[in-house]
Amino acid sequence: MKNKAPHILNTSSNLLGLCFIVLTSLRVTNRSTATFIDELTAVAALFFISSSILSFLSMRDSTPRSAAYERVADGVFLIGLVFIFLTAMLIAFNVVG
């Protein structure tokens, strides 16, 4: 698929919002000190914001760097997905550590 940047931007910004919801719910329930889920979620949020910025730059840039921004945004997005998957598994299996 050509020009994946708009899809990356849309999806990563949505998942960034999900990360904020998870972080907020952990703070409200006072479970943020009892688990390391909030740290994993924060790392995922950093990857998603980076992916959002890179995909935005890819759409705004008309030079050959645009393709490089898009490739990096794609890789960073994939890493963010791995972290959010780990977070979801820890929440699903009620792992506290």
Residue 11 lies in a domain: no
Vertex 89, ends 95 and 97: CA angle to 5°? 25
Other CB atoms within a 10 A radius of the CB of residue 88 amount to 16
Residue 62 lies in a domain: yes
Total structural domains in the chain?
1
Residue 12 lies in a domain: no
Residue 10 lies in a domain: no
pLDDT of 5-53, one tens digit each?
A: 788 889 999 999 999 998 898 888 887 666 788 899 999 999 999 999 9
Domain range for 62 is 21-92
Residue 29 lies in a domain: yes
Query: Would the pTM of this model clear 0.85, i.e. be above it?
Result: yes
- For residue 29 the two structure tokens come to 């329930």
Residue 2 lies in a domain: no
Residue 40 lies in a domain: yes
Residue 33 lies in a domain: yes
